Amino acid sequence: MKSPRSFALVGLIAGLIFGAGLVIGGMTSPAKVRGFLDFTGDWDPTLVFVMGGAVMVHFWAYRLVKPWNTPVLAPMFQIPSRKDVDAKLVLGAAIFGLGWGVGGYCPGPAVTSLPTGGVSVLAFVLAMLASSWLTGRLESRATTQTLQPTPEPPQRVPTP
Amino acid sequence: MLRGAVGGALIGLSASLLLVLNGRVTGISGILNTLLQPVAGVEWAWRALFVVGLLAGGLVAGAFLPSPDSAAIPGLPTAILAGILVGVGTRLGNGCTSGHGVCGLSRLSVRSLIATLTFIATGAVAVLAMRGLAAGGGS
């Protein structure tokens, strides 16, 4: 790490801009999110502009760094490189979408709404963190079991 | 719609700063998950500061804008159910609207495109079902 302090500070600045962007874009309003997901009702296209605006800016950042070996402040890029579409990805995205539609919040706007959203938003965030943590625990246990099958208990050789 | 595009551009700018300077993907669910793990030093610090920024940036921007319709904030049981679904789903699916919808689509990732289409589709189903429940439940 070239400069840990700057590296951490970028996190703060990025968070500030992201939080402001979510609020300005209306994403902290569950009514707006449900309005976007309500294709058969009174459809609200705002989220298309938010996601589209974000992708139009961020696409160029990827183009910029593509030839780089390292980012400015860190020893390496940590970018997902998986290409396979597996059942877990689709199942997870499907479950997430249900929760997004039911509550009107995805993780970023929920956290950003914590100071103003009252007890419901707090409960949403706590339930989200707890269930994600638990799912992660169960996942890693399942993976360990697949990779290292529990050994058979040692057979006791009857002593003559 | 202009507000949407401006907000979106800011989100894209934020993700671009993290990518260009720190080499990281701005996935909120991933950032939150890592905060709950015993990760030491600067890897924990930048994520914690990101969340502090999220809260502060939201508060500052919110001070200049009309606050969202509070009638649409879900009740407690609905909020808990939704939170559980979002927590389980983002963990299994390795990401949420930011990681897949913004960062993944920007790098033209097929996984993220499939994930994004899937969560928009089931989100639409959920909204439709909720409307049906509200109409049929008589409440």
Cβ of B133 under 8 Å from any chain A Cβ?
A: no
Cβ of B7 under 8 Å from any chain A Cβ?
A: yes
Taking an 8 Å cut-off on Cβ atoms, the answer to whether A23 and B121 are in contact is no
Return the minimum-mean-pLDDT range out of A25-39, A55-69, A95-109, B64-78. B64-78
Taking an 8 Å cut-off on Cβ atoms, the answer to whether A124 and B74 are in contact is yes
Q: What is the mean pLDDT of residues B118-136?
A: 92
Contacts of A120 (CB under 8 A, 6+ apart): B73, B74, B75, B76, B78, B79
pLDDT of residue A10: 97
What gap in Å lies between CA A32 and CA A44, rounded to an integer?
Answer: 7
Structural domain count, chain B:
1
Amino acid making up residue A139: E
The mean of the pLDDT values for chain B is 93
- The secondary element (H helix, E strand) that includes residue B11 is helix B2-17
Chain A: closest CA distance from residue B40 (Å): 12
Taking an 8 Å cut-off on Cβ atoms, the answer to whether A25 and B29 are in contact is no
Is residue A153 over pLDDT 90?
no
Q: What is the CA radius of gyration of chain B?
A: 17
pLDDT of residue A157: 59
Amino acid making up residue B30: G
Encoded tokens for A3: 């400069």
Taking an 8 Å cut-off on Cβ atoms, the answer to whether A27 and B41 are in contact is no
% pLDDT > 90, chain A = 81
Chain B CB contacts of A142 below 8 Å: none
pLDDT of residue B71: 82
Is residue B24 over pLDDT 80?
yes
Closest residue of chain B to A68, computed from CA coordinates: B20
pLDDT bin (cut points 50, 70, 90) of residue B139 is very low
Taking an 8 Å cut-off on Cβ atoms, the answer to whether A15 and B51 are in contact is yes
Is residue A154 over pLDDT 60?
no
Containing structural domain, residue B106 = 2-137
**What is this model's ipTM?**
0.95
Taking an 8 Å cut-off on Cβ atoms, the answer to whether A46 and B4 are in contact is yes
% pLDDT > 90, chain B = 82
User: pLDDT per residue over A96-111, tens digit each?
Assistant: 999 999 999 999 999 9
pLDDT of residue A149: 56
Encoded tokens for A24: 């300005």
Using alpha carbons, list the distances in angstroms from residue B38 to A153, B34, B44, B129.
Answer: 33, 8, 8, 39
Top-confidence residue, B70 or A31: A31
**Which value, to the nearest 10 degrees, does the dihedral of the CA atoms of residues A90, A92, A95, A97 take?**
-70
Is residue A136 over pLDDT 60?
yes
Chain B: closest CA distance from residue A151 (Å): 28
Burial class (CB in 10 A: 0-12, 13-18, 19+), B44: middle
**Which value, to the nearest 10 degrees, does the dihedral of the CA atoms of residues A37, B18, A78, A50 take?**
10
Q: Which of A66, A63, A13, A100 is nearest to B101 (CA)?
A: A100
pTM beyond 0.80: yes
pLDDT of residue B32: 96
Is residue A152 over pLDDT 60?
no
Is residue A150 over pLDDT 60?
no
| Three-class SS of B42-56 | HHHHHHHHHHHHHHH
Is residue B70 over pLDDT 90?
no
Q: What is the mean pLDDT of residues A133-139?
A: 94
Top-confidence residue, A139 or B50: B50
Best interface-test mutation with B: which of A24, A34, A60, A78 has the largest number of B CBs within 10 A?
Answer: A24
Contacts of B76 (CB under 8 A, 6+ apart): A119, A120, A123
User: pLDDT per residue over B95-117, tens digit each?
Assistant: 999 999 999 999 999 999 999 99
Taking an 8 Å cut-off on Cβ atoms, the answer to whether A37 and B36 are in contact is no
pLDDT of residue A156: 59
What gap in Å lies between CA B30 and CA B15, rounded to an integer?
Answer: 14
Three-state secondary structure call for residue A81: coil
Closest residue of chain A to B61, computed from CA coordinates: A20
Is residue A43 over pLDDT 70?
yes
pLDDT of residue B21: 97
In sign, the C-alpha dihedral spanning A26, A28, A33, A34 is negative
What gap in Å lies between CA A104 and CA B107, rounded to an integer?
Answer: 26
